[in-house]
Amino acid sequence: MQLDKNVLYEFMNSQAGGCRVLVVGDIMLDKYYYGEVKRISPEAPVPVTRVIREVETLGGAANVAHNLALLGCHTSLVGFTGDDYHCRILLDKLSLKKIDYTGIVHTPAPTTTKLRIIGGHQQMLRLDFEETSPSEEKYQMAIQQRIDSKLAEGIDSVIISDYGKGLCTEKLCQYIINQCHLHKVPVAIDPKGNSWHKYAGADYITPNLKEINDILPMPIENKDEEIKKAAQYIRRKYKIANVLATRSECGLSLVGSRRATHIPTLAQEVFDVSGAGDTVIAVFALALAGKIDPENGAYLANLAASVVVAKLGTYAVSRDELIDKLS
């Protein structure tokens, strides 16, 4: 691999800010109630949690957009929300991060929200507010119009962030991929589930090992040669040009038509991989937007992931942190 750290440093330091990346996907709000448990309820055999603090964060495709915004590029977000209290919280947070949310379409369904109750250091309960069935045709058409509008304004790369909440139907994914190709814009997919034919024609897909095993006839181990063979199977079967496999403590593997590049993790210790996939696809798509060679882009994404997995809890790396890592 012809790694050029000087090119990456110059890109992050002076060029990334001019890149324009569009995220299309399942938008969520993550809510956390942290408290302490000292007694059992007299009403039922359940613990009583006294809430000490409340945290609300961007989740799903909104977290991918959050990662991009912290990297300093122009970030746009397209997806569904409800017209409700949770949506207003989301829009406030997107506005604070200077993320363009004019691509959001409001539907009668609730804004997808994950509410977690934490007692001490233990998650005790999760409440999901969501509607996962595909939306009506008129709302899907509205999403297509938002995508057309953003591409017409000028976009350098597109991310499809599929969390299986109903937005990323086969029809919509194929529409996005075809429109991106018409505009000569690379598209990268963060997949969900095992129906990957809907991603056919994509330039890149970024599955983790579990997601790879979910669609293989036989599961594989986290070894370079097995990952390479699995990626070639994915490329052939689903007609996807390149596979960027995220491998936790084993780093990343980029497999295309001509070669496979395996990049070991740079983290000294891996504490928590939550959110690392969002960081990888955000940094990699930003590199694509800046016309950085894909192998160098994969190295940059791996470098960002090494920061994230060394932190406890979901964490988004900033542009300054990534520049410091490079230098």
Query: Looking at the annotation, which residues are catalytic?
Result: 278
Contact 105, 136 (CB under 8 A): no
**3 state DSSP class of 71:** coil
In which residue are the tokens 């991603």 written?
199
**What is the token pair recorded at 83?**
């017209």
* Cα–Cα distance list, 102 to 22, 61, 159, 311 (Å): 12, 15, 17, 32
Which one-letter amino acid corresponds to residue 196?
A: W
How many CB atoms are located within 10 Å of the residue 47 CB? 16
* 306: nearest Cα among 260, 248, 233, 228: 248
Q: How far apart are CA 157 and CA 178, in angstroms?
A: 13
CB within 8 Å of 166: residues ≥ 6 apart: 26, 80, 131, 132, 133, 134, 135
Contact 24, 78 (CB under 8 A): yes
Q: How far apart are CA 190 and CA 298, in angstroms?
A: 15
Q: How far apart are CA 306 and CA 87, in angstroms?
A: 32
Beta-bridge partner residues of 158? 22, 187
Contact 131, 161 (CB under 8 A): no
Burial of 75 (0-12, 13-18, 19+ CB in 10 A): buried
Are β-strands 252-255 and 187-190 bridged in parallel, bridged antiparallel, or unpaired?
Answer: unpaired
**What is the token pair recorded at 92?**
């406030």
Q: How far apart are CA 11 and CA 5, in angstroms?
A: 10
